Structure 1
Amino acid sequence: MTQSPLARRLIDRFQHGMPVCAEPYRVMAQTLGCSEAQVLECLQHLQLAGTLSRVGPVFEHTRAGASTLAAFAVPQERLQQVAERVNQYPEVNHNYAREHRYNLWFVLTGPTRAHLDSILQELEQDTGLTPLDLPMLTAYRIDLGFALEATP
């Protein structure tokens, strides 16, 4: 899907370093040379189009709580149902179907490891599936971002 010039500039400039202040959208608009209403309209359009899933901070989980990558081997006919059940937790920040025996992968982030363990236990009880739990040992590079504009 082709994005507007404002959408590309907005994503390029603010997918890292979003202003942390009382009026972040106003600061974003000033930086981009447009109105706050245009920024909000653009973000809403991106979200409605399915291009943007959320606007917010990404915390270093080792400093703010606990995180784990988990997966289920879900029978294909139950994949949608189990994905919807996993998505009921606000602690789930990614959830993807994959081509693999373990075909549903998700990331859980929460205040403590014990909290994550309780969610995984609930999911196991509710679904009858045993989660594969892969807590991160070492982060080598975490910098999710994509340049949309050509850089010289």
Structure 2
Amino acid sequence: MRLDTTDRQLINLYQRELPVCERPYEEMSRQLGIAEEEVIERLQSLQDSQVLSRVGPVFEHSRAGASLLAAVAVPEEQLDLVAARVNRAPGVNHNYAREHIYNLWFVMTAPDEDTLDDRLDELEHQLRLPMLRLPMVEGYHIDLGFDIDWEALP
């Protein structure tokens, strides 16, 4: 996919500073001088072509409730089935396979610690598999924005 100037501006301007307001795409459209619908269409096209993997905010989870990284030791032949079950659990926002005895990892969120514990207990009971609960000890901010040298790209 060839990116035009507007696509590049979308990526450069908003990978760190997505407007926090009721209509962020409308605000972006004003700043870029294009229609709100075009902003949405361009972002969707960038996602569809896998130039962008995600469009949306990143929250400070400790201010928004409770969360925890968990890992499950899943027999290899059951990995897809268990991953699908984990994905259906309330508060799971992603999971991924790892090369380890605990080979399925996921993050679960909840409005508070008690709800989080209840959800994890219920999921562990349903799976009937050993689960590690790995609470965050210390948080680190990782800037996932990239300074892109568009001239250096083909």
Q: Tell me, yes or no, if the aligned pair for 1:8 and 1:149 is still in contact at 8 Å.
A: no
SS in 1 for 2:63: helix
Larger CA deviation: 61-70 vs 4-13: 4-13
Alpha-carbon distance between aligned partners in 1 of 2:49 and 2:16, rounded to the nearest angstrom: 21
CA distance in 1: counterparts of 2:2 and 2:101, whole angstroms: 36
Contact 1:69 1:105 in 2 (8 A): yes
Separation (CA, whole Å) in 1 of partners of 2:15 and 2:90:
21
Deviations 1:41-96 (A, max 9, x none): 12222444455554333221222211111111111111111111111134122211
Residue 122 (structure 1) aligns with: 122
Q: TM-score, normalised by structure 1?
A: 0.82
> Which residue matches 1:87?
87
Q: Is it true that 1:4 corresponds to 2:8 in the alignment? A: no
Q: Which residue of structure 2 aligns with residue 138 of structure 1?
A: 138
Q: Is the 8 A contact 2:16 2:145 kept in 1?
A: no
Q: Could you tell me which residue of structure 2 aligns to residue 112 of structure 1?
A: 112
Q: Contact 2:95/2:104 (CA < 8 Å) preserved in 1?
A: yes
Question: How high is the sequence identity, in percent, across the aligned residues?
Answer: 53
AA aligned to 2:131 is P
- Asked if the contact 1:70/1:106 (under 8 Å) is kept, the reply is yes
Q: Provide the rounded CA distance (Å) in 1 between the counterparts of 2:127 and 2:147.
A: 40
In 2, Cα distance between equivalents of 1:75 and 1:8 = 44
Hey, which bits of structure 1, 4+ residues long, moved more than 4 A? 49-54
Partner of 2:18: 18
Structure 2's unaligned 5+ residue stretches are none
Q: What TM-score do you get using the length of structure 2 for normalisation?
A: 0.81
Q: Does structure 2 conserve the Cα–Cα contact (< 8 Å) formed by 1:72 and 1:131?
A: yes
CA RMSD of aligned residues (A): 2.5
Q: Indicate the larger mover: 3-12 or 95-104.
A: 3-12
Q: Is the contact between residue 97 and residue 104 of structure 2 (CA under 8 Å) also seen in structure 1?
A: yes
Q: Give 1:139 shift.
A: 0.8
Change (3 A) 1:142 1:149: closer
Gaps of 5+ in 1: none
**Counterpart of 2:146?**
147
Which structure has the larger Rg?
2
Q: Helix, strand or coil: the match of 1:108? A: strand
Aligned-partner SS, 1:87: helix
